[in-house]
Amino acid sequence: MSAADLSAARFHNEEAARKFLEEIRWPDGPVCPHCGSIGKVYENASKPGVYRCAEPECRKDFTVKVGTLFERSHVPVHKWLLATHLLMAGKNGVSAHELHRMLGVTYKTAWFMAHRIREALRPMSSRRPMGGNGRTIEADEAYIGGKEANKHKNKRQGVGGGAGGKEPVFALVERGGAVRSFHLPTVTARTLRAVLVAQVDRKSFLMTDEHGAYKMVGQEYAGHEAVRHSTGEYVRGEAHTNTLENYFSILKRGITGTYHHVSQQHLKRYLAEFDFRYNERMALGITDAERAAKALAGIEGKRLTYGGSQAG
């Protein structure tokens, strides 16, 4: 990220920020969040950015923040845009402490802001299945977090919420495509299958390690190969889970290096953050600014319900 990026008016000037967000949310003109009417508004002459719906039976006031994750926040839009940009730039995320310093908001506000942005990154629950005919999906589990003293433990011994405090993460990646990761309560044939059949087209080819939990469900797919990690085998021709290992190494480095500790309750939001950055990565020709704009598109129609409304 260059310093020039951060000098853009929308990161410092509230009117520029509001207009930027309006262009992302309303490419065809303001949309009334109360009745859905498009482009039929009066702008309040003394309060720029406050619109009144022109539909006779509606006539309600709104701003660009209404109906979004930013609605109940007193934080100005330009700080939201800067926070989103910082979170989307680079590979490892940005800590609440860094946001607190860079945005000039309290630590608590920075923490809530980061979580609301992560919520914007969470995909809709009804996604199309991954893969399909001729496509290969790698599936694997990793254990995230936990205390340093327990990190030598073999991942097979790790149990969610156990002594090490590590949490099981199950991830799927389509070769040459996107990743989806999930925080599971436990890793069993049943929990892995539930995710696989909901997320992965059965015409796909499945690549896993030799974990017994994949044996049965593997038969439901067009093909299934397992590499024997326990005997030191990591690649056998096309059979490997290296794409996913690469993702897990970014995830672990980010969680350990930037966030230090991630509670079980919030892990799914951090996974959404790392999935989003991976899926909108620079290697695909997407710039930091484009990634941030895509992130902002996700603030629509979402609300955070846990006690965050009074902070920030």
For residues 13 and 37, which CB has a smaller minimum distance to Zn ion in the complex?
37
Q: How far is the CB of 65 from Zn ion (least distance, A)?
A: 16
With tokens 């410092």, the residue in question is 12
Site for Zn ion in 52-81 (CB under 5 A): 53, 55, 58
Q: How many Å apart are CA 187 and CA 157, to the nearest integer?
A: 11
Region at 171 (left for phi over 0; alpha for psi -120 to 50; beta for the rest):
beta
For residues 58 and 250, which CB has a smaller minimum distance to Zn ion in the complex?
58
Site for Zn ion in 156-215 (CB under 5 A): none
For residues 52 and 193, which CB has a smaller minimum distance to Zn ion in the complex?
52
For residues 31 and 105, which CB has a smaller minimum distance to Zn ion in the complex?
31
User: Residue 171 class from Cβ within 10 Å (0-12 exposed, 13-18 middle, 19+ buried)?
Assistant: buried
DSSP 256: I
Site for Zn ion in 15-54 (CB under 5 A): 32, 34-35, 37, 53
* Closest among 77, 251, 55, 282 to 169, alpha carbons compared: 251
Q: Which residues pair with 203 in a beta bridge?
A: none
* Number of residues lying near Zn ion (CB under 5 A): 7
Residue 84 corresponds to which amino acid?
T
For residues 25 and 115, which CB has a smaller minimum distance to Zn ion in the complex?
25
Task: Using only the alpha carbons of the chain, give its radius of gyration.
Answer: 22
Residues that bind Zn ion (CB under 5 A): 32, 34-35, 37, 53, 55, 58
